[in-house]
């Protein structure tokens, strides 16, 4: 996968890290509760904190979306999506309307 401002992938990326997201503490807690601890740094990973932009596994994002829709987690536990940095292959797993519903807009109103 490439982390050059865009979430691109290749055959070696088993996780399909194609969704550019902005994580919240709520998402990080939810992810850890599902066995995917993204907060703890290790020699190959910096650990994420609230507001970090990261290439997320599209399946993990969808898992959070479905948990939100089922009422299991709050809306803020679904990462905001940076559409112009998300790979189009993510659309094979989630719809554009779902991505747009959670589109990231910064404090200046920019996407």
Residue 31 has pLDDT above 80, yes or no: yes
Three-state secondary-structure class, residue 67: helix
**Greater model confidence, 98 or 3:** 98
Query: What would the pLDDT profile of 82-108 be if each residue is shown by its tens digit?
Result: 999 999 999 999 999 999 999 998 877
Mean pLDDT value across residues 65-73:
98
DSSP classification of residue 14? T
User: What is the average pLDDT score of the chain?
Assistant: 92
How much is the pLDDT for 61?
A: 98
The H or E element that residue 61 is part of is helix 58-69
| Dihedral angle computed from the Cα positions of residues 104, 19, 77 and 101, in that order, rounded to the nearest 10 degrees | 50
Is-contact 82 34, C-beta < 8 A? no
52 or 16, greater pLDDT = 52
Pick the more confident residue, 98 or 11.
98
The stretch 51-75 carries a mean pLDDT of 97
Which residue ranges make up each domain of the chain?
2-101
Residue 32: partners with Cβ closer than 8 Å, 6 or more residues away:
38, 39
Given pLDDT bands bounded at 50, 70 and 90, which one contains residue 1? very low
State the average pLDDT over residues 58-77. 98
Write down the CATH number for the domain with range 2-101: 3.30.56.110
How many other C-beta atoms can be found within 10 angstroms of the C-beta atom of residue 18? 27
Any alpha helices (H) in 34-93, and if so which ranges? 58-69
């Amino acid at each position: 996968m490439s982390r050059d401002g865009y979430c691109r992938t290749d055959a070696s990326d088993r996780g399909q890290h194609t969704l550019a997201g902005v994580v919240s503490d709520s998402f990080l807690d939810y992810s850890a509760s599902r066995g995917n601890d993204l907060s703890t740094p290790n020699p190959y990973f910096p650990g994420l904190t609230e507001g970090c932009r990261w290439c997320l596994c599209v399946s993990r994002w969808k898992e959070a979306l479905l948990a939100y829709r089922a009422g299991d987690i709050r809306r803020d536990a679904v990462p905001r999506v940076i559409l112009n940095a998300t790979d189009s292959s993510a659309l094979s797993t989630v719809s554009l309307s779902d991505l747009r519903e959670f589109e990231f807009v910064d404090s200046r109103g920019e996407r």
